[in-house]
Amino acid sequence: RVIARIKEFMSDTSNRGRILFLVMTNRPDKLDVDLKRAGRLDRKIPFLYSQSPEEVEAVARALVRKNRIKTDVDLATIREGFSTKLVGYSNADVEAVVLLANDDAAREAGGDAPVLSEHFVKAAADYFPSRDVELLEYMELLAVFEASSRRLLPSKYAHMTPEELDARLRLLRATVGSRR
C-alpha cells in the first residue's frame, strides 16, 4: 500500500515542477516498473564509474583535497602508470589507491612527507580491488538500459542499439545468476 501511495503522489500532475523526486539504486531492475515510467521518473541519469583517465584524475584530485594529502604531482603527467590503470574502478577504489600512496610516502620519508609520482604509480600497480567484474558490468549496463536519453551516456554506450544492449544483458544475467 505504501508503494501504491507513493506512485499515486508521483503521478499527480499538480506536483509537476514543484517537487523533485530523487531515486538512487545500483539495481534498477529490482524497482517496480510502474515507479520508473515516464510521468513519475522523467529523467533517469546513470552514474557510472570513471570511463576515462581524465575522469579518474578529477576524482583523485578531489580525494587528495578531501583527505588533505600533501602532493604537488600533476596526475596527468603519470597517466599511463596511474589513472589509466584505474579506469572502471569505483571512487572508493580510487580513494584506496590515493590513501595507499599516502601511506607509502609516510612509511618511506616520515609522517608528513609529500606524496610523489612514484608513490601514486606504485599504489596503482599494487592495488588489487575486491570486485566481481561481470556483476559490475551487469549493473552498469542496467543503468545504461534505464537511462532516459543517449546524451546522458558515455560514448562507449551511446551508440549501442537496444538489441545489442539487450543481448549483452541477457548473457550477463545468465552468467551472474545467483550473484545478483
What does the angle CA 175 – CA 34 – CA 2 come to, to the nearest 5 degrees?
110
Alpha-carbon distance values, 57 to 26, 61, 63 (Å): 23, 6, 10
pLDDT number for residue 6: 87
Stretches in the chain below the pLDDT threshold 70 = 178, 180
**Segments making up each domain of the chain, as ranges:** 2-48+132-179, 53-126
* pLDDT for position 178: 67
pTM of the model: 0.83
Task: Match domain 53-126 to its CATH number in 3.90.1300.10, 1.10.1040.10, 1.10.357.10, 1.10.8.60.
Answer: 1.10.8.60
Measured between alpha carbons, how far is residue 1 from residues 11, 32, 34, 145 in Å? 15, 13, 14, 28
In one letter, which amino acid is 126? D
8 Å CB contact between 41 and 23:
yes
Structure-block grid coordinates of residue 58: 578529477
End-to-end C-alpha distance for the chain, whole angstroms? 26
